[in-house]
Amino acid sequence: MSPRTAAWAALTAAAWHIGPAATWLPAPRALLWPGLDGRGDPARVALTFDDGPDPASTPRFLHALDELAVRATFFVLGERLARHPDLGRRIAAEGHELAVHGWRHDRPWWPRPLRDARDLARTTELVTEAAGQRPLWYRPPYGVLTGGRWAAARAAGLRPVLWSAWGRDWTADATPADVLAEVTRTLRGGGTVLLHDSDVTSAPESWRAALGALPALVAACRARGLTVGRLADHGLADHGLGPSGQERQTSGARSSRPSSRK
């Protein structure tokens, strides 16, 4: 192989790997990939949590959500679910939705398509065991999609979904008021909210800010006539997002089965 050919091959591989990461940018994502942005029924808001299950904090979120009569979607890490399968089963048994956040909360800078495929496959199987049905959704750690992660999600039958509003609830100085203000700053009807039910990849005890913000957040949504619920009930337009990062419309959701720092 000539040096020129080798250089071209390297550039092509790099573009395949990191090109889809452009979808992390909120403004282009909202405009070009509304399904990936979590845009659904304008009368609803999808509430999602990342990084659990965590026995120190997730049960507190489950109690709060029960008190609020809200069901949510939990994007779980495979290694956490493997340690706490009973908690995963409890999430599903209480009417919430389990989704895939990857095996570990790894950074995506180096290509590793085989490992991506293996990790998503085994996390998907664990989620299926806990929930009693295969998951629909995948949100990559840090919200960064790569060519390998796209391909792995497609192989596992998962739809990537990021978020349209977040609480920045992973910092040591976050407060419930801060989280509420940040979420409501960009939240509109049809949006998907990202919060965290664990501090395993965040500042210690940072989950308390998200937990404290929940009642006011749900009240604010309801005051605007918005129903808060799971992604499965959010009416997302189905999409086929391949490793090129180009969205294409498909005929609808699969009828065989009823997320700087992120």
Task: Give the residue numbers marked as catalytic.
Answer: 50, 196
Contact 76, 99 (CB under 8 A): yes
Cα(77)–Cα(145) distance, integer angstroms: 16
One-letter amino acid for residue 32 of the chain: L
Q: With left for phi above 0 and alpha for psi between -120 and 50, is residue 142 left, alpha or beta?
A: left
- Which among 92, 87, 201 has a CA at the least distance from the CA of 143? 201
Compute the distance between CA of residue 99 and CA of residue 80 in angstroms, rounded to an integer. 13
DSSP alpha helix (H) spans, 34-111:
58-68, 78-83, 85-93
Quote the DSSP letter at residue 68: H
Q: Are 195 and 169 in contact (CB under 8 A)?
A: yes
DSSP 8-state secondary structure symbol assigned to residue 236: P
Compute the distance between CA of residue 18 and CA of residue 16 in angstroms, rounded to an integer: 6
For residue 28, count other CB atoms closer than 10 A to its CB. 12
Calpha distance 88→98 (Å, rounded): 8
**CA-only gyration radius of the chain, Å:** 18
